[in-house]
Structure 1
C-alpha cells in the first residue's frame, strides 16, 4: 500500500511518501506532483520525504524522474530526504545518486535554500555535500 501527503511548509513543498512506490502506485505520486507543480515557483523546493518509503521499483523511479524534470521546467528543484538504505542502494547501483539531490532528513533538505545544488552525497552523520560531476 502506498500513500502520499502534500504539505506546503514555510520553506517549501513536502511530499511525504509512505509504503511501496511501484507501477500500481506511481499514479498517486504523479497526482501529488501535479499539486506541487501548481504551487507558485517561489513556494520553495519540493522535498520528497522518503523516510517511510518501504520499497521503490523502476516505475517509482520513473515517476520521481518525471517530477524532477517537470519541476526543472519551472526552474524548481526536487530533493529527496530520509531515503531508506534499500532504496539508497538501488539509487547507487543505477547511478541515480548522481542525479537526485539526497539529504539525510526533511529539515536539511528544506534548509539548503531555493537554489539547485549540483550533486550531493549523504553521509549518515554529516549534512549533504556537493560532489563533482563525473564526465564519461
Structure 2
C-alpha cells in the first residue's frame, strides 16, 4: 500500500496513494494505523481518501480499526476528500455516522482540532 504521511504539531495527514482499499492492502494499512496511533507525537489523524476508487469490507474494517484506535487514545480520526462512491458505500453499510467526514484536508484539520475542545 502506497501512502504519504505528513506530521504536524498536533495531527498527521495520511494520504493513501492506492486506488483500492481492499483485502490485499487492508492488513498493511491496519499495521500502519497501529504504528502511527502508538507514536506518541502523531496526534490526530486526517485520512485523505481522494485516490480511492474501490473499497470492500476488508478496507472498511481497516478504517474502523483506525477509528477505534484513535478514539481509545482520546485522539480524533477525520476522513477527508472521500469520493462519492466511497461515501455511498459507507452510507449503505451504515458506517457514515461512525466517522467524521470532511470535504477537504483543511476542513479535516479544523474538525479534528475542534473535536478536542
Aligned to 2:6: 7
Aligned to 1:92: 91
Which ranges of structure 1 fall in alignment gaps of 5 or more residues?
Answer: 118-136
Query: In proportion to residue count, which structure has more strand?
Result: 1
Q: Check 1:5–1:27 CA distance in 2 against 1; reply closer, same or farther (3 A cut).
A: farther
Q: Check 1:65–1:45 CA distance in 2 against 1; reply closer, same or farther (3 A cut).
A: same
| CA shift for structure 1 position 37 | 0.9
Query: For this pair of structures, how many residues does the alignment match?
Result: 115
Cα root mean square deviation, aligned: 1.9
3-state DSSP class of the match of 1:92? helix
| CA shift for structure 1 position 61 | 0.3
Which ranges of structure 2 fall in alignment gaps of 5 or more residues?
Answer: none
User: 1:35-50, aligned counterparts within 5 Å?
Assistant: 35-40=35-40, 43-50=42-49
Moved more, 4-13 or 59-68: 4-13
3-state DSSP class of the match of 1:48? strand
Task: Name the TM-score, length of structure 1 as normaliser.
Answer: 0.76
3-state DSSP class of the match of 1:53? coil
Asked if the contact 1:5–1:32 (Cα under 8 Å) also holds between the matched residues in 2, the reply is no
| CA shift for structure 1 position 114 | 5.4
Moved more, 79-88 or 108-117: 108-117
Asked if the contact 2:5–2:15 (Cα under 8 Å) also holds between the matched residues in 1, the reply is yes
Aligned to 1:80: 79
Q: Deviations over 1:43-82 (max 9, x none)?
A: 4320110011121111000011011111111111111000
Task: Select the structure with the greater relative contact order (CA < 8 A; seq sep ≥ 6).
Answer: 2
User: 1:1-136, aligned counterparts within 5 Å?
Assistant: 2-18=1-17, 19-40=19-40, 43-112=42-111, 113=113, 115=115
